[in-house]
Structure 1
Amino acid sequence: MKKVAVVVCPNIRNFGSVLQSYATQKAVTKLGYDNEYIKYVKTRKTAYKYLIQLLIPSIMAERWSFVKRKFFQKKNGELISRRNKAFDKFVDKYMTASPKYVGYDQLKKAAGKYSMAVLGSDQVWNPINSGSDFYTLNWLNSGTKRVAYAPSFGVAEVPALLKDFYKKFLGKFDHISVREKRGAVIVKQLTGKKVPVVCDPTLLFKAEEWDDIQPEKPVAEGKYIFCYFLGNRREPRECVLKLAEKTGLTIVMMPFFGEISEYDNKLNAKFVDNPDPSHFVSAIKNAEYVCTDSYHGTVFSIIYRKNVMVFRRHSADSSKDTFSRLESLLSIAGMKDRVVNDVWEDRFITESINYDEVTENIDKLRKYSWNYLSDSLKN
């Protein structure tokens, strides 16, 4: 019998990408489908697919950020190597992979092995990923069923030069759901279809189910503030220092190797060595406060009912602003007041979050999302 292809991104070594990949496969397995995630390795042979991106300023700006990140990683090769090995070990332990398909031709040849494909979450439909032509599922045979579960575009608009490309591949999907309201608007504009907003796959599972991947030892002893920032802005760090001053708690951090911030060194924080995704979940579970500009940092704070303070990764007027997905999540949860507008307010200590109400809101979305995924795979 043919398997289900789970198309996710566990090879992108950041906590959110791997955890949502793991959760997507776990959900498909829980619903009773034999599946494997597609282990695909790009080659330079398909580089021409990226040429159109040279004409799109917003994508080229992201590409420049990627180049700067590569310079940092090369400079800190030993550190990055240890981190990557920890991530790969987690993926090998908890996920089931296909054979490795090297290059687009191998990928297309393997397509006949699968009766259906489930495209997972994260920013898989971000225009910067369009050149790979992997998350479009264009490599599948024409009769293979396509289900999109909670993908994100990561942008407010698809660039004009790519709109026809998006219309074509979106039109081939049998079922589409998205992770945030803005994504539903984009799909409606491009295809005319009204699609549902479902929860990120990590939210499909409750705290006790995430406890299955807890490491043997906690990442830090005693009470602490867990700090995880993707952006490199000064203002969020200043608020964290204020929180530490007011509470007397130590700061625990996990570095993000994308935008290293000079301000992190001023926090006098404990940095966790070689963390894998299980350590990230553990750090949030055992924290007194969580300070983050990360979508999945916020998700796991909600799952574990934490005192969370949510910051913008970029300033509100930045062309890179991707805050819509966090706004959507906080709106659904009933937690819009947990956004910090770069200025410290004592209410983040004195006012507690009504997690009974938040859990009720999330449970409704979780139930709806499970029903959507189950029906999409069946029908």
Structure 2
Amino acid sequence: MKIKTITCHDVYNVGASLQAYALVTYLRKLGHDAQIIDYKPDYLSNHYPLWGLGNPAYDKPILRELYNLAKLPGRLKARNGKRKAEYDRFTAEFLPLTPRRYTSNDDLKQNPPEADVYFAGSDQIWNCFFPNGKDPAFYLDFAPAGSVRASYAASFAMDDIPEEWKPDVKRRLSGLDHISVRESSGVAIVERLGIPGAVQVMDPVFLLDSEAWASIEKPVPNTEPYVLLYDFDRNPEMVRFARRMAEENGWKLYSVLSCKECDRCFEQDGPLTFLNLVHHAQFVVSNSFHATAFSLIFRKQFVVFNRQEHINTRMRDLLYGLGLRDCLTDSAGRDCPRIDYPQILEKLDEQVGASKAYIENVLSY
């Protein structure tokens, strides 16, 4: 069976890259001819610009040019740097893309990639605070009549969508044959729109087991026992907690992102190094959904710090659904509960099994 998936697969984000890989790889393991649609509209294509304003205060004649000239050396270094190269290498070697690149929904409609089944997802493809959440392509608007249109673990990344977008989202979701979302809040959103039958499934990274992930990870040389920190928000409480955990146990402190308080940082590395870092950590401190997901996959002890933003629903749903609400915190002074994995794995296996059953149902048309 020919299957095409569409997601934000090439945005230089570790979670986006690994979830795209996971879904298409799982479908291929089932024996299907699966590819990711190489969909790169303008808003997903300018991650390493050489020219542009990051601060509107500089948007004035002459000042604008001086600002860009000052930023140019750093931007050239980033565009030619290790991090971009690592992600580009991952995309080239591990993501089976369609031969043709598409740049708009109209482009897709005029010459849709051939498939029997189309999957939209996973990750925040329906987040209406981002352009992709308003893009008909991520609701499979382009899929030809007679094909099966389904979502897999699509995320709105919020508890509700803005009122002004509800009519459009309802119309677009009504064109899908099967709807699955990543969070229970997503199920509630779809139900409030008057569309029945939406189900909650696990993020696609859970479709592959720890051995499958370990087989592609990139080893990190010269490591000592360490706490791994992944902090998007530069939260001082997280750093204090991670440093205390490291010092109390005689461990080093490593960080996925830049961190002046850490012993080693890996901000210039890619998805395969990230897998290795989580796999071999003694403990993981993060506010990252996918760091939490891989901590579970690799059976790590971990704690998750809240993020004060719209996308916190996905973390809450994952942890609460597994009975791990005590692993979610805001305070560096809080004691860390030990995760009892034999108890957690029963719930996790049940949810992953239901997710695989959903895919099987979509493909049994």
- Common topology (TM > 0.5): yes
| 1:156–1:65 Cα change, 3 Å | farther
Conserved in 1, the CA contact under 8 Å of 2:201 and 2:351? yes
| RMSD, aligned CA | 2.4
Among 250, 253, 258, which residue is 1:251 paired with? 253
| 1:97–1:333 Cα change, 3 Å | same
Tell me which residue corresponds to 1:21.
20
1:179-217 Cα distance to aligned partner (Å, 9 max, x none): 1110100011113314211111001121111112122x3
Amino acid at match of 2:314: R
1:318-363 Cα distance to aligned partner (Å, 9 max, x none): xx23222111111122211111222323x32xx4210111111101
Tell me which residue corresponds to 1:295.
289
Conserved in 1, the CA contact under 8 Å of 2:183 and 2:317? yes
How big is the shift at 1:273?
5.7
Conserved in 2, the CA contact under 8 Å of 1:41 and 1:100? no
Tell me which residue corresponds to 2:60.
none
2:212 counterpart of 1:212: no
- Structure with the higher fraction of residues in helix conformation: 1
1:213 is paired with a residue of what secondary structure? coil
Alignment of 1:81-92 (within 5 A): 81-82=80-81, 83-92=83-92
Conserved in 2, the CA contact under 8 Å of 1:73 and 1:80? no
2:234 is paired with a residue of what secondary structure? coil
| 1:374–1:157 Cα change, 3 Å | same
Among 150, 155, 160, which residue is 2:158 paired with? 155
Amino acid at match of 1:362: L
| 1:145–1:255 Cα change, 3 Å | same
2:140 counterpart of 1:137: yes
Alignment of 1:64-83 (within 5 A): 75-79=74-78, 81-82=80-81, 83=83
How big is the shift at 1:297?
0.3
> Taking structure 2 as the reference length, what is the TM-score of the superposition?
0.86
Percent identity reads 26
Conserved in 1, the CA contact under 8 Å of 2:136 and 2:172? no
Conserved in 2, the CA contact under 8 Å of 1:146 and 1:175? yes
- Runs of 4+, deviation exceeding 3 Å: 64-68, 71-77
Tell me which residue corresponds to 1:111.
112
2:199 is paired with a residue of what secondary structure? coil
How big is the shift at 1:14?
0.7
Query: 1:81, 1:249 → 2: CA distance?
Result: 34
Among 305, 309, 315, which residue is 1:326 paired with? 315
Query: 1:325, 1:279 → 2: CA distance?
Result: 24
Aligned length, in residue pairs: 340
Tell me which residue corresponds to 2:232.
230
1:95-139 Cα distance to aligned partner (Å, 9 max, x none): 211023343243222216222211121101000123433212112
Alignment of 1:311-350 (within 5 A): 311-314=305-308, 320-345=309-334, 347-348=335-336
Stretches of structure 2 lacking an aligned partner (at least 5 in a row): 44-52, 58-67
How big is the shift at 1:43?
4.4
Conserved in 2, the CA contact under 8 Å of 1:171 and 1:191? no
| 1:219–1:119 Cα change, 3 Å | farther
Query: 1:333, 1:65 → 2: CA distance?
Result: 40
| 1:112–1:201 Cα change, 3 Å | closer
| 1:41–1:143 Cα change, 3 Å | same
2:356 counterpart of 1:370: yes
Query: 1:12, 1:43 → 2: CA distance?
Result: 12
Query: 2:84, 2:153 → 1: CA distance?
Result: 26
1:99 is paired with a residue of what secondary structure? strand
Tell me which residue corresponds to 1:352.
338
| 1:204–1:220 Cα change, 3 Å | farther
1:225 is paired with a residue of what secondary structure? strand
Query: 2:161, 2:231 → 1: CA distance?
Result: 26
> Taking structure 1 as the reference length, what is the TM-score of the superposition?
0.83
Conserved in 1, the CA contact under 8 Å of 2:37 and 2:97? yes
Stretches of structure 1 lacking an aligned partner (at least 5 in a row): 45-63, 257-263, 315-319
